[in-house]
Amino acid sequence: MNWLTTRRHFALMVAPALIIYSLYMIYPILYSLYYSFTHFDGVSANGFAGLDNYQQMAQDDAFWTSMRNTGIILGIALFLLIPLGFLLAILLSGRVRGSGALRALVFAPAIIAPILVGLIFIFILDPKIGLVNAFLLAIGVPAHPQWIGGSTLSPYSIGLVYLWQQIGFVLTIFYAGLRMLPRDVMEASSLDGASRWQQLRHIQIPMMRETFGIVTALVVTGVFKVFELVYALTGGGPVHLSEVMVSYMYHITFTTQQYGYGMALAVVVFVVGSLASAATFLGNRRKGEAT
């Protein structure tokens, strides 16, 4: 097996996967980058645009709205989804009767297609036919908030629907991390008189730092891929006020057929998502080195 240690043979083993990765990942990125500097509309010849598409983006209010909405969903995911997923994992990792069925029930939304989740929540959040407003009316609340389709609450509603769909996935990762913790450490702390809160704060959370890092990275990258929920719930409306970055890029590219501008938006989505992911990894790495 010494031949595995040589660089030449190692390169030959890696080459097929690298070629496939380049074809399906790197080439589309370079392709989008090229067309982002053109006026290509899908039919006519490519006219070089220089930085016109990016200058248009800087003056596009709908683009900045989509970025703000993406930030709102990201905030909900970081400050609600991750803590709630960890809390549920803690609760279901104990000796709870029926915990297996409860875990399966919580995980179930994660295997439903996002477009179906959006259709389900239309009947829950729609201002006219939704169950939420019907319940509020039944208990005597006259107001009918525009949970979806309005100018204010739509991104928050989308963020909460995303939380509902993904919390089972996050819970599963945390639950697996909790099960991998050494039991002798927990037993020793119990013998030393540590309370449940002290075990959680000083043992479980510090030992699961890597798990938190993985979950955070997955959540951040997942938020920048949210599309079907927006498409099903609001379609980006009204007047693009509930767009996220990916849905607005889709609208520009495939609805208005401004392929050059759409590719510029795709490049920005890729760059912002990559920077957010890199910041997450670097932050987790520094915390790990500090401890």
Q: Amino acid identity, residue 55?
A: Q
- Mean per-residue pLDDT of the chain: 88
**220-238 as b/e, with b when 16 or more CB fall inside 10 Å?**
bebbbebbbbbbbbbbbbe
Question: And the tokens for 174?
Answer: 């945390």
Considering only residues 150 and 265, tell me which one the structure prediction assigns the higher pLDDT: 265
Residue 86: what are its φ and ψ, rounded to 5°?
Answer: -70, -40
Residue tagged 């401890």 (tokens) = 291
Q: Are 242 and 222 in contact (CB under 8 A)?
A: no
Residue 38: what are its φ and ψ, rounded to 5°?
Answer: -125, 170
Q: What is the average per-residue pLDDT within 59-72?
A: 96
Q: Whole-angstrom Cα distance, residue 162 to residue 110?
A: 10
Using alpha carbons only, give the angle 194, 199, 200 rounded to the nearest 5 degrees. Answer: 150
Q: Which of 46, 3, 89, 38 is nearest to 264 (CA)?
A: 38
Q: Amino acid identity, residue 120?
A: I
Name the band, by pLDDT with cuts 50, 70 and 90, for residue 156: very high
Name the band, by pLDDT with cuts 50, 70 and 90, for residue 27: confident
Name the band, by pLDDT with cuts 50, 70 and 90, for residue 291: low
| Residue 93 pLDDT | 83
Residue 161: what are its φ and ψ, rounded to 5°?
Answer: -65, -40
In this predicted structure, the answer to whether residue 1 has a pLDDT above a threshold of 60 is no
Name the band, by pLDDT with cuts 50, 70 and 90, for residue 65: very high
Q: Which of 86, 233, 235 is nearest to 169 (CA)?
A: 86
Q: Are 132 and 147 in contact (CB under 8 A)?
A: yes
Q: Are 159 and 229 in contact (CB under 8 A)?
A: no
Which residues share a beta bridge with 48? Answer: 38
